[in-house]
Structure 1
Amino acid sequence: MISLRKRLARANQFVKLKGDESRHEQTDAWSNRDLIPLPPERRTWGWFHFFGFWAISSLNISNWQTPGTFLTQGLSVRQAMLIIVVGRLLISLFSTLIAWAGLKWHIGFTVQNRYTWGMRASYIPLLQRILLNFIWNAVQCWNGGRLVAVCITCIWPSFARIKNTFGPDIPTTTYEFVGFVVFWFLSTPFLWLRPEKFKIPFQIVTIWCGLGMLSWMIWALAVAKGVGPLWSTGQQIPGGSPWGASWLIMAGINQQVGGLAAGITNGSDFSRYARGRKHYIIGTILSCMVTGVLVCFVGLVTAAAAQKIYGEVYWNPPDLLMVMMDYGNGSSKARAGVFFLSAGFAFTAMFENICGNAVAGGIDLAGLFPRYIDIRRGAIITFVAAWIVQPWQLINRATTFIQVLSSFAVFLAPIMGMMACDYYLLRKRKIRLSHLYRTHDTNYWFWHGVNWRALPAWICGWAPTIGGLVVTVKLDPNPPRALVQLYYMAFLIGFFISAIVFYVLNLFFPVPDMDEFDEVDVYGTFTPREAERVGVVPLEYADSTDARRGLGRESTAEQVVVHDNGKKL
């Protein structure tokens, strides 16, 4: 028995994360190296990192297909592009708004929620994000596998005719499953890459896929000698449709912003890596507006030109690529061109999944088990979970479930509204960093670790729109009009209702000392210039005891008296 206990203790010490205490990388129930405020030497992201970060969410199949979604509803090309431009403007706005705490205080979403929800209740938004990371990682692996299957077919055309070895009870084919397996294994080595080192993959993805898309459009226009009738599509809303153009446009804008709600919500997970605020702002706005809109435009033009070549509209890139190869009679030139394009899409899907789902999932899991999980271990767990989730079941059978996941912004928008209200209006952009990593003597413990004000505020945000989500997913032929209208504005409704309710609750039931912050840079987080701007004393100039305790209320560096080797400064 004693021997077993010793073995378990040794195993625990082996698995437990280690941190450099001299760099304040303490490992305990609330903290580890990847959760503490990032020190300057780990903040390596410049403007191109953020340009690439948002570019990989644009240089993909779903964004390419976006205009087709609105055209099939009966909207015109101009109306579809209007939705895309307005949606991208709102994405730029909200992504900057929510990520600002990470830019100033260098903490991520996992820790950021502790001062809004309370230390224990912060698990509520955290668990939602973990669920989404697990499922979307699996779905992205499956979609990426389809592109890999096209690449394999380009090399060995006979692969497209491979015998299906799965039985009728399994909703997939050997062709699709092999692509998934290859994509999953090719992605795995990138899980060991820490976010600080993402620049080279971002460069490869942006250049390869960006040039590939432009080349595809130019080739299609040259071969077709123009565009097909799709390009001149006017408004064609069916006469019996209960919705006019204005409501369809509103729903489209909501869909645009809601589709990236998961990435906006945890924006501070990545904004904390910024070398400076201007890098995040320039890279994010430039990528969201230019790349996001341009990819939709290129997809629309390519589909319109391909319509003139092949006589049909192909919105799904893998389908169009296979048609191109067939019409090229499998020649080496056709296969080489299709391989270049499909490989670019596949590599983009790969790194979008690693960055947006696996790494983000790793950060969230680190918040649940800080003693044992860091970003790398969490990313590996998230990636392995793809086999448990079984995306072939979700994609090919449970289309309703995927639609629910796509509409999860109904629950995420209220979380963002509370985050913005708390940070900007209630706390006036001030946070006590030292109080975010302990349960005693902290402003963020509230009532047994729960800020009860957050729960009703969050529920009030999604309660008006959940009914519209239900009737939409059920494909109710005659849904209550009011429910659907609320659902078409779900993101904005959820964001502002939760923000207002949270503000009112704090007005009537105020929390003391909300605008406090540490007088001393407890974690060595800030450069001297940042410390001066924030109003804290750099750690090396402060008394060590006061620094560790993080004593004091709101003040500026000039108001604090500190000592260095007994000398008054």
Structure 2
Amino acid sequence: MAITVLQLHERLVVKAVDRDGFQRPVDMLDNDSIRPTPAKDRTWTQFTYMMFWFSATANVSNLYSASTGMTMGLTMWEAIACSFGGQILAGCLMALNGRAGAMYRIPFPVLCRSSFGPWGAFWPTFNRAIMSIVWNGVNSVQGAQCLYVFLHAIFPSIENIPDKMGSKSALTSAQMMCFFVYWVINCAFLVVPVPKMKSLVYAKVVVYYGGTIAMLAWTVSLAGGASQFLHMPSTVHGTEKSYLILKFFWLGLASCGTFVSNAADLQRYARKPNDVLIGQLISFPVSNLLVAILGNVIASASKAIFGELIWNPLNFLDKLMEGERYTSGNRAACAFISLAFVYSTVFSAIFENSIPAGNDIAALMPRYITIKRGFFICAVLSYAICPWYLLSSASIFITFLASYQIFLSAIAGILICDYYLIRRGRLNIPALYTAHPEGLYRYFYGFNLWAFATYVIAVAPNFYGFLSQMGVRAPVGIQRFYYVAYPTGLLVAFSVYYIGCLVSSPKGMEKARGWKEPKDYVDEYDPARDEGFAIDGLEVDNAGAEKGAFTAMKEMKL
């Protein structure tokens, strides 16, 4: 039995190699998966990132999220403008928060160690891992619903399957069958290495926009032309309308809070550090704008067709197959459109949930878990939490998930301040993978107490508003102040953390003026370091000094 346990342990322990191909020790803070991306895997170009955001935002939830403003009384164009304005700010924050990932090719959990400490970083990492797992389950439910519409269009008898799930489930028995099929499809694509997903990114853009534009043309035709609904007036006025505009403008930013925190994970595959900028600053908001226009026009057409606003395109497709509309032509159209939505949902879940969750889970236990193992752990856990039951009370649950962004905004504010004002772009990468008492990011036994204090201070002003979103009675002023919860939390965290560091400077704080970021960075274990990778001589010397310090720590068995 002892031999079996040892063999199992040997199989589970992550194997890591140095740049000469020899195995090196792996501990609780380090493995190859969470080290800087090797030069050979930096395959995502400027064009890839431009297309990536058109691909990442191409999903069903984004198709109807901007139209929620219309359900509250805004016009279609007001709802689109609010969403677009918030997402422009989100793109800027993604570029800021992801810069360390683009430069040093490190994931979010490792970046957190520079400000929270090597052990303290487990908190924001665990925080985001839970969110990614839950959202992956939510997206899987949505994917199952897309797949159900597809199968319903082909096999009408599927709706006759007896429902045994009960009223507490968001899915029927037939949709649960679709959930399992979707989950298997999702797992199958997880075996593809992230650097090699470029072709899948491009394919998703074509598939999604092909299906969505086809649905747009079809619904506008059924509505009798766009002139029938494009200029419907607003149903709110005065102060109420002003607050609605404010709410949906900042909601456009808060809804992208996960993307802001995920930025380093996605940018670490960049060929060059600046290759990500056009994608973040232009492609991201423009792609969201395009999806919002498509979604709002489709939702507006529903009112002209059915006499009611249907903001969920899946419900719209199902209604297009009801009664006399259940024709072979309508069924074929719904099948192709819903299949495009299934494909897009699979890769949205991978980009938005599986990749960050894989990084987080690997960073929580790097001795035993790689990013790829983290992908599958996320997939299993997202099934195990039974998301179809979580969504049975969709209103409060989705509100909770959206409101949770106030906690991520505090973390983002700390990380941005630490990288730009405290470190001025210079990170000692080897020191991020050790908890040695003399380590640069050691702080207090591996925890930066000031970062945690800042986190609490930044969350505090918005916490009452957060509770009000959960059903706790609160004054109108508190509810309206919560509209600006995300920027408030981010700015408070940024300012408080900086003031604290001025009072008591942490190790490695750059006090001299000027930007200290290298031209590029290659990890000490990367074979490209011996192959003349394109970095300037000064940074090679600095990198060598870092390596020497790290090697000395290893020799001391620290």
TM-score (norm 2): 0.91
Q: Is the Cα–Cα contact under 8 Å of residues 84 and 256 in structure 1 kept in the other structure?
A: yes
Tell me the SS of whatever aligns to 2:97. helix
Measure, in 2, the Cα distance between the counterparts of 1:310 and 1:41: 54
Matched, 1:324 2:352: no
Measure, in 1, the Cα distance between the counterparts of 2:517 and 2:551: 12
2:364 maps to 368
Q: Which shifted more, 160-169 or 206-215? A: 160-169
1:475 Cα deviation (Å)?
6.6
1:550 to 1:287, Cα distance in 2 relative to 1, 3 A: farther
Q: Is the Cα–Cα contact under 8 Å of residues 28 and 370 in structure 1 kept in the other structure?
A: yes
> Equivalent residues in 2 for 1:49-128 (5 A)?
49-128=48-127
1:12 maps to 9
Matched, 1:537 2:541: yes
Per-residue CA deviations over 1:143-180 (Å, capped at 9, x if unaligned) read 11001001111110111222223355656421221221
> Equivalent residues in 2 for 1:253-332 (5 A)?
253-326=249-322, 329-332=325-328
* Counterpart residue identity of residue 357, structure 2: G
2:475 maps to 480
Measure, in 1, the Cα distance between the counterparts of 2:131 and 2:258: 8
Measure, in 1, the Cα distance between the counterparts of 2:369 and 2:548: 30
1:70 Cα deviation (Å)?
0.9
* Counterpart residue identity of residue 361, structure 1: A
> Equivalent residues in 2 for 1:247-258 (5 A)?
247-258=243-254
1:237 Cα deviation (Å)?
1.9
Q: Which shifted more, 299-308 or 96-105? A: 299-308
> Equivalent residues in 2 for 1:102-251 (5 A)?
102-167=101-166, 172-227=171-226, 230-237=229-236, 244-251=240-247
1:403 maps to 399
> Equivalent residues in 2 for 1:452-531 (5 A)?
452-474=449-471, 476=473, 479-515=474-510, 522-524=524-526, 531=535
State the percentage of identical aligned residues. 27
Measure, in 1, the Cα distance between the counterparts of 2:50 and 2:321: 33
1:86 Cα deviation (Å)?
0.5
Matched, 1:377 2:376: no
Measure, in 2, the Cα distance between the counterparts of 1:262 and 1:460: 21
Q: Which runs of 5+ in 1 are unaligned?
A: 552-569
1:328 Cα deviation (Å)?
6.2
The answer to which structure, 1 or 2, has the higher relative contact order (CA under 8 A, 6+ apart) is: 2
Q: Is the Cα–Cα contact under 8 Å of residues 359 and 379 in structure 1 kept in the other structure?
A: yes
* Counterpart residue identity of residue 494, structure 1: G
1:475 to 1:349, Cα distance in 2 relative to 1, 3 A: farther
1:127 Cα deviation (Å)?
0.8
* Counterpart residue identity of residue 290, structure 2: L
1:256 to 1:168, Cα distance in 2 relative to 1, 3 A: closer
Q: Which shifted more, 250-259 or 167-176? A: 167-176
* Counterpart residue identity of residue 263, structure 2: G
Matched, 1:347 2:347: no
Measure, in 1, the Cα distance between the counterparts of 2:272 and 2:373: 28
Q: Is the Cα–Cα contact under 8 Å of residues 30 and 367 in structure 2 kept in the other structure?
A: yes
Per-residue CA deviations over 1:91-128 (Å, capped at 9, x if unaligned) read 11011010000111111101000010001100110011
Q: Which shifted more, 300-309 or 401-410? A: 300-309
2:39 maps to 40
* Counterpart residue identity of residue 489, structure 2: G
1:550 to 1:278, Cα distance in 2 relative to 1, 3 A: farther
Per-residue CA deviations over 1:159-217 (Å, capped at 9, x if unaligned) read 12222233556564212212211211121111111111111211121101112111221
Number of residues paired by the alignment?
541
Q: Which shifted more, 490-499 or 254-263? A: 254-263
Choose from 445, 450, 465 the match for 1:448.
445
Tell me the SS of whatever aligns to 2:540. coil
Q: Is the Cα–Cα contact under 8 Å of residues 464 and 486 in structure 1 kept in the other structure?
A: no
Q: CA RMSD in A?
A: 2.6
1:555 maps to none
Q: Is the Cα–Cα contact under 8 Å of residues 126 and 364 in structure 1 kept in the other structure?
A: yes
* Counterpart residue identity of residue 551, structure 2: R
Tell me the SS of whatever aligns to 1:17. coil
Measure, in 2, the Cα distance between the counterparts of 1:545 and 1:381: 33
* Counterpart residue identity of residue 463, structure 2: I
* Counterpart residue identity of residue 480, structure 1: P
1:534 Cα deviation (Å)?
7.2
Per-residue CA deviations over 1:295-333 (Å, capped at 9, x if unaligned) read 111111222233323333221111111122236643332
Q: Is the Cα–Cα contact under 8 Å of residues 43 and 271 in structure 2 kept in the other structure?
A: yes
Q: Which shifted more, 392-401 or 221-230? A: 221-230
* Counterpart residue identity of residue 522, structure 1: E
Q: Which runs of 5+ in 2 are unaligned?
A: 511-515, 554-558
1:400 to 1:312, Cα distance in 2 relative to 1, 3 A: closer
Q: Is the Cα–Cα contact under 8 Å of residues 434 and 550 in structure 1 kept in the other structure?
A: no
